[in-house]
Homo-oligomer: A and B are copies of this chain.
Amino acid sequence: MYTDSVTYTADRLIESTRELLWERGYVGTSPKAIQQRAGVGQGSMYHHFDGKPDLALAAISRTAEEMLAAAEGQFTAPGTSVERIAAYLRRERDVLKGCPIGRLTQDPDVMADPVLRRPVEQTFTAMRGRLAEVLAEGRDRGELTDTLDPAATASTIVAVLQGGYVLARAADSTAPFDQAVDGVLGLLAAQTR
């Protein structure tokens, strides 16, 4: 029964849930751990939220909103289509922590619950759609070749980001992430005219 009327205690609970979901995923996060990190007692938690899924929904929704808003900041900045995409890909990130939304994709209990699943699905649908718009705009302005497929390329770019996190975590280094980003931007540069 998550609503937006958030008290101070509830907010602390949501924040520690966000952190733990990011670090350990849904399956790896227990109510007890959430309470301890928030410095909130058992009774309080169950007073403000129905349980773990309810709390997770609040946390995931908040993270999803922030992610899209942050991206939008890059997309609406001045510059060419490719410049804005480069700014987005290269902006400051906690690369080794990975994507807080993308990681949920691997969580069987999240994917099995339609309510928890929805914000994850919508986030990526929105991201791909928005990037496709930016690319289409670049093409229409004559910045990009006519043969470039905005939708496919948008999916490629989002995939490079998500996959870059995977490579960085596997290597315990941001280097492969940066390489992957440099690589796709190099390929994209060849599409400018």
Residues of A near any B CB (own CB < 8 A): 23-25, 27-28, 98-99, 102-103, 105-109, 111, 117, 120-121, 123-125, 128, 147-149, 151-164, 166-167, 169-172, 176-177, 179-184, 186-188, 190-191
Residue in B closest to A161 when the chains form the complex, CB atoms: B163
Residue pair A183, B156 in contact (C-beta under 8 Å): yes
Residue pair A187, B182 in contact (C-beta under 8 Å): no
Report the Cα distance A99→B191, complex, angstroms: 30
A163 CB contacts on chain B under 8 angstroms = 158-164, 166
Q: How many subunits of this chain does the assembly comprise? A: 2
A180 CB contacts on chain B under 8 angstroms = 152, 155-156, 158-159
Contact of A166 among B28, B108, B157, B162 (CB under 8 A): B162
Contact of A167 among B27, B128, B191 (CB under 8 A): B128
A162 CB contacts on chain B under 8 angstroms = 159, 162-163, 166-167
Shortest beta-carbon distance, A149 to chain B, in Å? Answer: 6
Given A24-B27, A162-B166, A167-B124, the answer on whether A106 and B111 have CB atoms closer than 8 Å is no
Residue pair B108, A149 in contact (C-beta under 8 Å): no
Interface centre among A151, A158, A171 (most CB of B within 10 A): A158
Report the Cα distance A164→B128, complex, angstroms: 12
A105 CB contacts on chain B under 8 angstroms = 98, 166, 169-170
Report the Cα distance A170→B116, complex, angstroms: 11
